[in-house]
Structure 1
């Protein structure tokens, strides 16, 4: 009986079913012919043996496994397991762990995880989230980003997640990965699930490994212009530097700034940024595409009265950066020289999907006509910043500076 192929198949089907995942003492039933087909035992000698095994099982189960039959013909219609008693009988007969016990084991894993010591700043969220996972595990609901049946993968993810929320300082991901998981590539491999867990836990959509000091690249921001930083160890006067200055997010944490301009221009591409640095008329220039933590930190230090402009490529990605700057900083960045220019460069499929999303984004309502024009044309045209005459760009930038001085 314990090696009966049809009962082994029934156990697998039950385990994957809503009843098997969620318990609750409900009966489980399956169409008789469907069971044989799914077991691959619906023909010839294999079918005959399977039907014999089902009859023997029905007779030996004390009524908790039943074959429902047609009232007149006696033909089998369904195989039924009676609630938790049927589950207990089937898995005991096969020498396998009951699904209810598996659910309880997973729930206990999450209960124990909830009690782990974590930093105060995230303690209540950690406790609430893991207690919720324990309830979901026992009820058979989703426990993403964890797995229902892979205990070892769950243990690795938990250890990595615990290491991330306890990480004490700024580090690159490969170093942190070795310290936390013993492998320089482990955190990167688990990154989607780790960041999904952090977002679910905190309810913050922007939560990432960087939020806990673990970055893929150094968290820095590059700038030029009339700005002076008073740091713990001294003063960094960017205004006296001919070239750009790069500071880390750590340096900016407790820094006090002095600002000599009320105009900010963020620039997407480094090549253009460096050209503007050489002839900067006196505005604050910041190099950024999609803004990282250090860039957001710098922008957060600036007064709310600061006039903010963004100079980027005029393809869908360029406008997506403009949208991201607005969303992540809460500032109304205005586009600088970003009106689309004619050209025959067609969209890629990815760019088309990005543009479709942006056309319906309220954060870009002011540039909606440009986006619609681009969509109707099926091309982003001559989109690269580098294609604009530099003298014309500098003239427009000087106008911004003069407006500030005269205003």
Structure 2
């Protein structure tokens, strides 16, 4: 068993150099007394024992060469100031602690990506190959492509396998997450355990925020983020003020929304917002008069649908989404699941910059969207996207930050 001080020394070397792809060019040095302190060797006898161990490792014997070096005080030669790991001894230190060289991890991760790049994708072959090429290029440069890290090849394999399997199926709306998990990996909780990682992979693959709900999967615990005045009322006559501040809060489907019989708000309209990470907080900061109840909707969750069912039926509902095919799919699903006349808000394409070609998923969605009777009022926008094969300027962030205090938040939307 290696002494505690050597393990601490390895940890410091690993933090400084262990994950570098290029070999070290100069010896690694560390303050000896600081190392002993960090190894919790505080007693005199423990420090002296550590010094004896170090000096042995600094000696060349018939069995092995010197592994370490030390730097003594300039005048008091019996005092050790520095411990030194020569470049030639780095392989010995790595072997001692089972360290896998970074270049080996990188090579393994690249082999995994190469293998998955050659896996045919039944629905999005070009998109899948393009994504794998992006991952490969990042790994070759020693970079990561979130949430994939080349230093974790086993996790790279698992996530690529899961992403490929999940996107190779057309999921029926309402499929429960545990049913989907069993269908994919014969483990009912696998998708829940990897939910954040899988959704990050989907967002990276499709180059837009993507959730399992956007593929028709129903999560076990549904919730909705919102901003504004909201009170829930219950069958026993009690009521509960959920929120009246300007920040974002979350309400769960169970038990809060499921047990409520109605909801009330002082707001005069509801605006659902697709992008909950940037656009929703920006609108919340500008909702100074509280006249708008804001709710996140990257896809209509069961919690959001229940909230709309509880709110007064005459409360106007607007949806602010991206203007690519997926953005209009969200609008359609929102109308379908709530049976309400949800009005599109600022969902006219802002053509700007170079053209952005449609992805395979966009092209797969367009025919159904063009034929969707729930999207008759935005069919011209969809037809324009279909004709030009261009979705440039589709993201909400392209409008910039809100420039009005309160509704309609953007000068370009005045009159909505």
TM-score by length of 1: 0.51
Are the counterparts in 2 of residues 30 and 79 from structure 1 also a CA contact under 8 Å?
yes
Of 182, 196, 203, the match for 2:186: 182
CA distance in 2 between counterparts of 1:116 and 1:201 reads 15
CA-CA distance at 1:205 after TM superposition:
3.3
Stretches of structure 2 lacking an aligned partner (at least 5 in a row): 221-294, 296-304, 334-340, 351-398, 410-415
- Between structure 1 and structure 2, the one with the greater Rg is 1
Does the C-alpha gap of structure 1 residues 201 and 86 become closer, same or farther in structure 2, counting only changes over 3 Å? Answer: farther
Of 71, 74, 78, the match for 2:74: 71
Q: Which residue of 1 aligns with 2:370?
A: none
Once superposed, what is the RMSD of the aligned Cα atoms?
Answer: 4.3
CA-CA distance at 1:48 after TM superposition:
1.8
Q: Which residue of 2 aligns with 1:46?
A: 46
Q: Which residue of 2 aligns with 1:199?
A: 203
> 1:134 and 2:139 equivalent?
yes
CA offset digits 1:270-324 (Å, max 9, x no partner): 3456458xxxxxxxx8787989x988327589xxxxxxx978xxxxxxxxxxxxx
Does the C-alpha gap of structure 1 residues 111 and 134 become closer, same or farther in structure 2, counting only changes over 3 Å? Answer: farther
Are the counterparts in 2 of residues 300 and 329 from structure 1 also a CA contact under 8 Å?
no
Are the counterparts in 2 of residues 70 and 77 from structure 1 also a CA contact under 8 Å?
yes
Q: Which residue of 2 aligns with 1:316?
A: none
> 1:31 and 2:36 equivalent?
no
Are the counterparts in 2 of residues 175 and 184 from structure 1 also a CA contact under 8 Å?
yes
Does the C-alpha gap of structure 1 residues 105 and 7 become closer, same or farther in structure 2, counting only changes over 3 Å? Answer: farther
Of 163, 166, 169, the match for 2:168: 166
In structure 2, the residue corresponding to 1:364 is in which secondary structure?
coil
Does the C-alpha gap of structure 1 residues 72 and 22 become closer, same or farther in structure 2, counting only changes over 3 Å? Answer: same
CA-CA distance at 1:86 after TM superposition:
2.0
CA-CA distance at 1:106 after TM superposition:
4.3
CA-CA distance at 1:143 after TM superposition:
6.2
Are the counterparts in 1 of residues 321 and 327 from structure 2 also a CA contact under 8 Å?
no
Are the counterparts in 2 of residues 88 and 98 from structure 1 also a CA contact under 8 Å?
no
CA-CA distance at 1:131 after TM superposition:
0.9
CA-CA distance at 1:19 after TM superposition:
0.8
TM-score by length of 2: 0.50
CA-CA distance at 1:151 after TM superposition:
6.2
CA distance in 2 between counterparts of 1:163 and 1:193 reads 14
CA offset digits 1:312-355 (Å, max 9, x no partner): xxxxxxxxxxxxx6477759xxxxxxxxxxxxxxxxxxxxxxxx
Structure (1 or 2) with the greater helix fraction? 1
Q: Which residue of 2 aligns with 1:209?
A: 212
CA distance in 1 between counterparts of 2:197 and 2:5 reads 37
CA distance in 2 between counterparts of 1:8 and 1:330 reads 59
